[in-house]
Amino acid sequence: MSETILKVEQVSKRFPGVQALDKVSFELYKGEVHALVGENGAGKSTLMKILSGVYRPDEGAIAYKGKEVHFQNSRESSAAGIGIIYQELNLVPHLTVAQNIYIGREPRTWLGYIDDKKMNADSTKILKMLNLDIDPATRLNKLSISKQQMVEIAKALSKDSEVLIMDEPTSALTESEIDELFKVIHSLRDRGVGIIYISHRLDELKHIVDRITIFRDGHYITTSEYASISMEEIINKMVGRKLENMFPERHNVPTQKKLLEVRHIVHGSILKDISFDLYEGEILGIAGLMGAGRSELARAIFGADPITSGEIIRDGKRLKIRSPSDAIKNGIAYLSENRKEEGLAVKMRLDQNVTMANMAEVSKSFGIISTAQELKATKTYVDELHIRTPSLMQVINNLSGGNQQKVVVAKWLFRDSRILIFDEPTRGIDVGAKYAIYELIERLASRGVGVIVISSELPEIIGMTDRVLVLHEGSLMATLRTKDTTQEEILNYAAGLNAQPAHSNR
Partner 1 sequence: MDNATLQPASTEAKAKIPAIRRGVKISLDKLVIFGAFVLLFALFSVTARNFFTLRNTLTLALQTSTITLMGIGVTFTIITGGIDLSIGSVVALTGTIAVMAANVGIPIWMSMVLGLLTGVLCGLCSGLLITGLKLPPFIATLGMMMVVRGVVLTITNAMSKPAPDAFGDLGNDTLFRINQQFPGIAYPVFIMILAAIIFGFFLRKTRMGRYTYAVGSNEEASRLSGIKVSRVKLVAYMISGFCAALTGIILASRMVTSQPNGGMSYELNAIASSVIGGTSLMGGIGTIAGAVVGSFIIGVLGVGLTMQGASYFVQQIAIGLVVIGSVAVDQLRYKKK
**Residue 90 within binding range of partner 1, rule CB under 8 A:** no
By CB under 8 A, which span of 122-130, 135-143, 172-180, 369-377 interacts with partner 1?
Answer: 369-377
- Binder among 17, 112, 316, 367 for partner 1 (CB under 8 A): 367
List the Cα angle 42/284/171 in 5-degree steps. 45
Helix (H) or strand (E) holding 165: strand 163-167
Single residue of 302, 419, 424, 444 touching partner 1 by CB under 8 A: 302
Q: Given the complex with partner 1, which of 342 and 489 has the nearer CB atom?
A: 342
CA atoms within 13 A on the CB side of 383: 6
- Read out DSSP for 37-60? E--TTSSHHHHHHHHTTSS--SEE
> Of these, 343, 425, 450, 463, which contacts partner 1 (CB under 8 A)?
343
| Cβ neighbours, 10 Å, residue 354 | 31
Contact pick of 411, 418, 467, 503 for partner 1 (by CB under 8 A)? 411
- State whether the Cα torsion 241-243-247-250 is positive or negative: positive
393 binds partner 1 (CB under 8 A): yes
Environment class of 484 (CB within 10 Å of its CB; exposed 0-12, middle 13-18, buried 19+): exposed
How many CB atoms are closer than 10 A to CB 160? 10
Among 80, 357, 399, 461, binds partner 1 (CB under 8 A): 357
In the list 69, 79, 130, 348, the residue contacting partner 1 (rule: CB under 8 A) is 348
* Residue 50, phi then psi, degrees to nearest 5: -70, -45
Q: Identify the residue among 390, 483, 501, 505 touching partner 1 (CB under 8 A).
A: 390
Size of the site for partner 1 (CB under 8 A): 49
> Binding to partner 1 by residue 436, rule CB under 8 A?
yes
Verify binding: residue 290, partner 1, rule CB under 8 A.
no
Rounded to an integer, what distance in angstroms lies between the CA atom of residue 77 and that of residue 186? 23
Q: How far apart are CB 150 and partner 1 at their closest, in Å?
A: 33
Least distance in Å: CB of 338 to partner 1?
A: 9
What is the C-alpha separation between 240 and 232, in angstroms, rounded?
A: 11
CA distance 412 to 437: 14
Length of the chain (residues): 506
Q: Does 383 bind partner 1 (CB under 8 A)?
A: yes
382 touches partner 1 by CB under 8 A: yes
Interface residue with partner 1, options 131, 141, 222, 391 (CB under 8 A)? 391
**Of 65, 118, 388, 443, which one interacts with partner 1 (CB under 8 A)?**
388
* Smallest distance, partner 1 to C-beta of residue 490, A: 23
Among 366, 483, 484, 505, binds partner 1 (CB under 8 A): 366
Provide the angle, in degrees to the nearest 10, between the axes of the packed helices 231-239 and 487-494. 120
Burial 33-67 (b: 16+ CB within 10 A, else e): bbbbbbbebbbbbbbbbbbbbebebeebebebeee
Instruction: Evaluate the CA torsion angle 75, 79, 85, 90 in order and state its sign.
Output: positive
Span 239-268, contacts to partner 1 by CB under 8 A: 245-246, 248
Shortest distance in whole angstroms from residue 95 CB to partner 1: 23
User: Could you tell me if 2 and 31 are in contact, meaning their C-beta atoms sit under 8 angstroms apart?
Assistant: no
Of the candidate residues 10, 236, 435, 489, the single one contacting partner 1 (CB under 8 A): 435
Q: Is 368 in the site for partner 1 (CB under 8 A)?
A: yes
Q: Rounded to the nearest whole angstrom, what is the least distance from the CB of residue 248 to partner 1 in the complex? A: 8
Under rule CB under 8 A, residue 133 binds partner 1 = no
Stretch that binds partner 1, among 142-150, 155-163, 229-237, 334-342 (CB under 8 A): 334-342
Report the chain's terminal Cα–Cα distance, integer Å.
Answer: 48
Of residues 480, 481, 434, the one with CA closest to residue 457: 434
Check residue 392 for interaction with partner 1 (CB under 8 A).
yes
- Read out DSSP for 393-428? T-BGGGS-HHHHHHHHHHHHHHTT-SEEEEESTTTT
For residues 150 to 189, the per-residue mask of contacts with partner 1, x marking binding by CB under 8 A and - elsewhere, is ----------------------------------------
Could you tell me the smallest distance in angstroms from the CB atom of residue 408 to partner 1?
Answer: 9
Residue 18 contacts partner 1 per CB under 8 A: no
Evaluate whether 496 touches 296 at the Cβ level (below 8 Å): no
356 contacts partner 1 (rule: CB under 8 A): yes
Residue 418: CA count within 13 A, CB half-sphere: 14
Question: Is 379 a residue that touches partner 1 (CB under 8 A)?
Answer: yes
Instruction: Return residues touching partner 1 (CB under 8 A).
Output: 245-246, 248, 302, 304, 323-325, 327-329, 334, 336, 341-348, 352, 356-357, 359-360, 363, 366-369, 371, 375, 379, 382-383, 386-393, 411, 431-432, 435-436
